[in-house]
Amino acid sequence: MEHADELLELLCENARYSTADLARFTGLSEATIEETIAELEAEGIVQGYTAVVDWDAVDDDRVQAHVELNVTLDRETSYRDVAERVAGFREVQGLRLVSGDYDFALEVEGENMREVSRFISDKVAPIPEITQTVTHYIMETYKQGGHRFDDGDDDDRLSVTP
């Protein structure tokens, strides 16, 4: 698929660009844009389109957490096996195998801290291969999905008068 990389970059920038916009940006025809997007979707390269939402501006009660998971594998169990089990829970918004001090980076969402804590302790921690969890609650989001969440006030410093 020629031009796929350029088209993917534009879709990541703004998935709501029209085919006319994408054609203008790339110099390709709208038919070529539509065909390429259809191929990207059919091949599973483009998995979906989502909105980047500043939930703090909408709902202060929603709780998000990043959870570090350490695992110990046996001969019959792979990282993929553990990932499939963890990813199946509705509370899980993201799951990645990572390098470094822990094995999986888990993104969880719940109604409140108690719900998130119970989910981790009752559903995730008991999985036999998971040996340790460390939960980090998200206090404030400044940037997500390449989009900055500004409060409209560029200067948080206190004014000083002589």
Residue-level pLDDT at 160: 66
How far is Cα 12 from Cα 106, in angstroms, rounded to an integer?
Answer: 22
How far is Cα 55 from Cα 53, in angstroms, rounded to an integer?
Answer: 6
Residue-level pLDDT at 56: 67
Q: How far is CA 136 from the centre of its chain?
A: 15
- pLDDT single digits (tens) 137-151: 998 888 887 778 775
CATH of domain 55-139: 3.30.70.920
- pLDDT single digits (tens) 72-117: 999 999 999 999 999 999 999 999 999 999 999 999 999 899 999 9
For residues 107-132, give the mean pLDDT: 95
3-class state of residue 9 by DSSP? helix
Q: How confident is the model at residue 19 (pLDDT cuts 50, 70, 90)?
A: very high
Residue 158's Cβ-count burial label (10 Å; 0-12, 13-18, 19+) is exposed
Residue-level pLDDT at 157: 57
Q: How many CB atoms lie within 10 A of CB 65?
A: 20
Nearest CA among 24, 18, 102 for reference residue 67: 102
- pLDDT single digits (tens) 41-54: 999 988 888 776 66
Which two three-digit tokens encode residue 72? 């110990």
How far is Cα 138 from Cα 153, in angstroms, rounded to an integer?
Answer: 21
